[in-house]
A = this chain, B = another copy of it.
Amino acid sequence: MKVYDLQRYLKQFFEEVELVGDGDIVITRPAKIEEAGEGEVSFVANEKYRKYIGSTGASLLVVGQQITPDQYSKRCAFLKVKDPYTAFVFLLEKFASSPAPAAPGIASTAVVGKHVELGSNVAVGEYAVIGDGCRIGDNCIVGAHSVLLSGVSLGEGCLLFPHVVCYHGVRLGNRVTVHSGAVVGSDGFGFAPQADGSYIKIPQVGVVEVGDDVEIGSNTSIDRATMGSTSIGDGSKIDNLVQIAHNCHIGRHTVVAAQAGISGSVSIGSNCMIGGQAGFAGHLSIADRTHVAAQSGISKSVTSSGQAYRGYPAQPLREQLRQEVLVRNLGAMKARLDALEAELEKLRDVQ
């Protein structure tokens, strides 16, 4: 593909795509700016990477509109756009050729139950098992070895990689991606303590509802509700090895990083960012646009939106950082205390 072709392609997404340099250079693939060579395209979206512009071997760079390519002497073309990061994502998509994890059609070894509704253009991989009463929307891909228990419904364009399990009654929206090893709809962790110290299991009769455009990472567990539903809103992204307990509700466009753990009946708002390994106590309510730092332990509800939290137990970011500084300076505080005591001792002697 030539630089001209890529310029034309990006014009679908951006009003202005200014070309500086030779539009006839042939580009074959994307690369990181520090590793890129001839025929490769890279980008600069972050000030930190600007230093590479002069030295990169790339043949094309996608950059912001404030960059002045003329000052760089390299034989490299430039495409200037408002949001070079997103532009590069579109280029990645243009060049990406990830093979689908299942061939078109229903593999002969797949087991499809009774009363299953299959949309058009569905691919079901080897040994996949689709239970009775499932509904699979148009253009879905169900990877090899994935198991959908009875009554599972997938909207249109879902992509399940191999080895996904959806328990009975789980509902995924449209364009949901689920990675290998993820389990959606396992029983909530609910047991009623008895007088003799033993427990009886609380039946988990609810479901899991996942909205549109959600991505669920590998080896993540999302438990079904005790009653009602566990839900994940449209556009939210869940990383690998995340625990989402029974009756949690996660809003729209919320991002949950790897190994975070959300206890039962927690409601997290929309457009939140939850750091890796962060944990939430049960029954909390977290306002929209809350940011939670990695490894934080949220022990109370967050009522005002747009705040950042950090620490164990977590507090508003600024308070936590101030406290961390105080703790780091405890040695100095102790020294001042020693000095005060010594001085007072002297004063006492004087008197």
Contact = CB atoms under 8 A, between A and B. Distances in A.
Interface of A: 30-32, 35, 85-86, 89, 92-93, 95-99, 101, 109, 111, 125-127, 129, 143-145, 147, 149-151, 161-163, 165, 167-168, 177, 179-181, 183, 186-187, 189, 191-192, 194, 197-205, 213, 215, 217-221, 223, 226-228, 235, 237, 239-241, 243, 245, 252-253, 255, 257-259, 261, 263, 270-271, 276-277, 279, 281, 294-295, 297, 312-313, 315, 322-324, 326-328, 330-331, 333-334, 336-337, 340-341, 343-344, 347-348, 350-351
A192 B315 CA distance: 28
A215 B198 CA distance: 13
B30 A227 contact: yes
B186 A161 contact: yes
Contact of A261 (B96, B271, B276, B348): B276
A130 to B, nearest CB: 10
A280 to B, nearest CB: 9
A351 B151 CA distance: 85
26 contacts: A30-B227, A92-B227, A98-B204, A98-B205, A127-B145, A147-B163, A161-B167, A162-B165, A165-B218, A167-B180, A177-B187, A189-B217, A189-B240, A189-B257, A191-B215, A197-B271, A217-B221, A243-B259, A261-B277, A263-B294, A277-B279, A279-B294, A294-B297, A295-B297, A333-B337, A343-B348
Nearest to A165: B180
A98 B168 contact: yes
A202 B92 contact: yes
A89 B161 contact: no
A191 B95 CA distance: 17
A255 B165 contact: no
Given A192-B85, A337-B336, A183 B180 contact: yes
For this chain, the copies found in one complex come to 3
Given A186-B180, A203-B92, A243 B223 contact: no
B161 A163 contact: no
B344 A334 contact: no
Contacts of A219: 181, 183, 219-221, 241
Given A227-B31, A276-B243, A276-B263, A89 B333 contact: no
